[in-house]
Structure 1
Amino acid sequence: MQSNEQLLALIENHLAQIEFAAEPELLYAPIGYSLAGGGKRLRPMLTLLGCSLFTDEVQRALPAASAVEVFHNFTLLHDDIMDNAAVRRGKPSVYAKWGQNVAILSGDAMLICAYRLLGEVPPQLLPHILRTFNTMALEVCEGQQYDMDFEQRQKVSVVEYMHMIELKTSALLAGATVIGALLGGASEEDCRKLRRFAVELGLAFQLQDDLLDSYGDQRLGKAIGGDILEGKKTYLMITAMSRAEESARDVLRNAYRDPMLTDAEKIAAVKAIYDRYDIPRLTEQQISLRFERALGILETLSVDPARLEPMREYARGLMGRNK
C-alpha cells in the first residue's frame, strides 16, 4: 500500500496534468487558477483511500478522484458569488479577480469537466458511479439551499442544522469515499458502511470548523469570530439559543448588527454567552461522538484490519487527533 503522502502526490500530479483549452482564456484560465489554489484535497484523498481499502491499484481511481476535486472547486466558485467573497485560500477569489459572469460560466465549465473525467472510469462501473456522483451533487445543492434558507429564519433546530451540514458537507465526503470503494471492488454492504463512516466524519469535521471559527487560532488561516460577525446559525449559536434565557438570546440574535459595538465587542459578547452555557464543551462532546462513531463503523468493514490504518490515520489527522 502507498502512504498517504504518496497518495496526495498522485492526486496533485494528476490534477496538474489535466489539459484545458487555451481559448477562450476567460473561460479556462479561472479553472486552472482555482485548481492550482491548493486546499486539503480532502475529497480526492478519500476517493483514493476508499479504493485502497480493497486494492493496491489505486491509480484506477485517479480520474474519479480528480472529478470529485474539480466538482468541489466548481461549488466554491459559485459559493464565492453567493457569499460576495473576495478571498479564497489566501488569494483573490475567481469572483473577485474576474467578476461574477466569468465565475458563473467557468464554474459551469468545471462541472462539465468533472463529468468528462468521470467518463474515464471502467465502463462496467460507470452507471453505478454516475448514480453515486449525481446523488452527491444534488445533496450538496440541497444543503446549500437549506443554509441559505436558515439565514432568513429566526429559529433553526439542532436537528435541522445537522441535516443541513450532512447534505452540504458530509454528502461530498461520502460520495467521494464510496466512488473510490466501488473502483476498488467493494461490496454493496461495505459501500453502505463507508458512506455512513464518511457522513459521521464530515459531521465531526464541520462541527470542529464551527468551533474553531470562534475558539481557534488565527494561524489556521482565517479570522476568529467570522461566523459571529455574520450572524450565522452555527451549531454553537443554535445550541446556545436553545439553552439561554431570553435576555441572552436577545444578545445572540442582535449583537452582530449592533452599530454601537466594535467587531471585537460583538465577538466577546457572544462568546461570553457561549462560555456561560458551556457551549464549547457541548460542541466538543458532539465532535467526539461523531468521530468515534465514524471510526467504529470503519472497523466493521470486511477487509484485512491492516488495510484500515491509512484511512484511520487520515481521519485522525483531519481532526487534529493523535489517537
Structure 2
Amino acid sequence: MGSAVEPQEVASGINWRDAKEARPEMNKYIKEFSKDFVGYIEKNYEWPDVGVERLTRMLDYTVPGGKYNRGLLVLWTAIDTCKMKGLNFGSVEKKAVVLAWCVEILQACFLVSDDIMDNSVTRRGKPCWYKVQGVGLDAINDALILESFLFYLIEKYFDGEQYVALMKLFHDVSLKTQMGQMLDTMSEKAKGKEGIFDTFTMKYYTRIIKYKTAFYSFYLPAASALIACGLTSKEVLCGAEEICVAMGIKFQIEDDFLDCYGKPEVIGKVGTDIFDHKCTWLLVMALQMMTKEQRATLEANYGNGIEDKKAEATVKGIYKDLKLEEVYEKQETDSYAECEALINKYSSILPSETFVRLLKKIHKREK
C-alpha cells in the first residue's frame, strides 16, 4: 500500500507528491499559461499571425519536457508550509503552480542560452532549439522572451508585498546564476593559461557552484513557495537560503563525482568534465593532495578535448592513486550531517519535512 496523503495536499484532486501523476498535470497548466501569454502579445503588440505561430512554437518546444524537479519542489514546499501554518493548500495551489512554472521557464531560458554557448547538439532527446532549422542565433532573443514570460506570470497572479518580493527574488537569483555561469565558462576556456591551476581552490570552486547551481535549483523553488504562503521575513528566507545553498553544493559535488565515475547508461550522459577543463570538486581535491610530479602530469593531460581518451585515463589514474573515491564517501557523510544540522536549526520557522525529504532524495544518488 502507498503512503497516505493528507486532504490538504490534493485540494484540486491532484496528488502533487506523486511525480508521475503531477508531471502530466504540470503540462496541462503550461499549455494554459502559454496560450494566455501568446494571446496577451497578440492583443497588445499588434502581433501578426506568423509571429503568433513562431512564438507558440518556441514556447511549446523549449519550456515543457523536463523532469520538473525544480517546479515540483515549489509545490512540495508549499504543501509542507501550509501544513506547518495550519492552512488549506487549496488557498495557494494555483499560485504555487504558477511559481512552479516560473522556475521551470527560467530553467528553459538558461538551457536555451547554455546550449548555444556549449555548442550542444541535443537537449531532452531532441535537437537543441538553436539547432532547429530556421532558428539559429535567433534563439538568443527567444531566451530573453522566456524570461519576460515568467515575469508576465508573476505580474498577472501576484500583487502587493508578494509581487515585490517575488520580482526581487527572481531578478536576484537570475543575476547570481548568470555570474556563476560566467565563472564556470571562464575556467573551461583557461586551458594553457599560466598559473590557472593555482586559482582552482576550494573557495573558487564553491563560489562557482553556489552561484551557478544552488540558488536557482534549490533556493529559488523553496523561497518562491514560502513567499506564496506568506512567509516573507528576512529570518525565514535567510534560513532557507542557508539550507538550500548547503544542499546545492552537496548536489553539485555529487554531479562532479558522477561525471567521472557514473555509468553512462545510468546517468544518461558520457562525462566530459576532464575533457572540458572544468573546475570540479575532484580536481580541486586532487590539487590539494598530489605530488609535484603528479601535478605536472595532470596539467599536461587535463582539458585536452574529447578526442584524447588517453589523457582522460591518465587523469583518472591520478584520482585513483589519491583514493579520491574514499575522500568523496567521507564528504557525502559529512555534508549530510551538515545539511541535517541546518534543517534542525531552522525547524521552528521552516517546513523541515520538505528539506528532510529533499536531502534523502539527493544523498548518495547514482544519477
Q: Which residue, out of 224, 229, 244, partners 1:198?
A: 244
Q: Of 68, 73, 78, which aligns to 1:51?
A: 78
The residue that corresponds to 1:249 in the other structure is 295
Equivalent in the alignment of 1:141 = 178
Counterpart AA for 1:131: K
User: Offset at 1:311?
Assistant: 4.3
Aligned to 2:329: 284
SS at match of 1:228: coil
Q: In the alignment, which of 153, 166, 184 is matched to residue 129 of structure 1? A: 166
Q: How does 1:1-323 map to 2 (within 5 A)?
A: 1=6, 2=9, 3-5=16-18, 7-8=22-23, 10-20=25-35, 21=38, 23-24=50-51, 25-38=53-66, 40-55=67-82, 56-57=89-90, 58-59=92-93, 60-98=95-133, 99-124=135-160, 125-151=162-188, 152=190, 154-155=196-197, 156-172=200-216, 173-186=218-231, 188=233, 189-256=235-302, 263-299=308-344, 300-302=346-348, 308-320=352-364
**CA–CA distance in 2 between the matches of 1:105 and 1:150?**
26
Shift of 1:317: 2.1
Q: Is the alpha carbon distance of 1:220 and 1:102 closer, same or farther for their aligned partners in structure 2, counting shifts above 3 Å?
A: farther
Residue type matched to 1:238 in 2?
V
Q: Using a 3 Å threshold, how does the CA distance of structure 1 residues 229 and 258 change in structure 2: closer, same or farther?
A: closer
Deviations 1:203-231 (A, max 9, x none): 11111110000000112344443111222
In 2, Cα distance between the equivalents of 1:316 and 1:108?
35
RMSD: 2.6
1:312–1:17 CA distance, 2 compared to 1 (3 A): farther
Q: Name the CA distance, whole Å, in 1 between partners of 2:365 and 2:208.
A: 25
The structure number with the bigger radius of gyration is 2
Q: Across the two proteins, how many residue pairs are aligned to each other?
A: 318
Distance, in Å, in 2 between the alignment partners of 1:308 and 1:8 is 24
Distance 1:133 1:203 in 2: 20
CA distance in 2, matches of 1:54, 1:258: 48
Q: For residues 316 and 10 of structure 1, what CA distance do their matches in structure 2 show? A: 25
Deviations 1:233-288 (A, max 9, x none): 211112212221222222322325659x9644233211111111122232333344
- Cα 1:221–1:96 change in 2 (3 A) is farther
Alpha carbons of structure 1 residues 103 and 287: separation in structure 2 relative to 1, 3 Å: farther
CA positional deviation for 1:320: 5.0
Return the offset for 1:202: 0.9
Stretch deviating more after TM superposition (44-53 or 5-14): 5-14
The one-character-per-residue Cα deviations of 1:89-148 (angstroms, maximum 9, x if unpaired) are: 232111222443222121111111011111134312100111111111110011011112
The separation in 2 between residues aligned to 1:311 and 1:186, in whole angstroms, is: 16
Q: Counterparts of 1:26 and 1:215 in 2: how far apart (Å)?
A: 42
Higher relative contact order (CA 8 A, sep 6+): 1
Q: Distance in 2 between matches of 1:223 and 1:103?
A: 24
Mean alpha-carbon deviation: is it higher for 293-302 or for 266-275?
293-302
CA contact (8 A) 1:4 1:310 kept: no
CA contact (8 A) 1:26 1:102 kept: no
What SS class does the counterpart of residue 249 from structure 1 fall into?
Answer: helix
Give 1:200 deviation, angstroms: 1.1
Unmatched tracts of structure 2, length 5 or more: 1-5, 10-15, 39-48, 83-88
C-alpha change, 1:257 and 1:204, in structure 2 (3 Å) is: closer
Question: Aligned-pair distance for 1:34?
Answer: 1.7
Deviation (angstroms), 1:301: 2.4
Counterpart CA distance in 2 for 1:16 and 1:207 is 35
Q: Match for 2:112: what amino acid?
A: L
Gaps of 5+ in 1: none
In structure 2, what residue type is equivalent to 1:267? E
Identity of aligned residues (%): 23
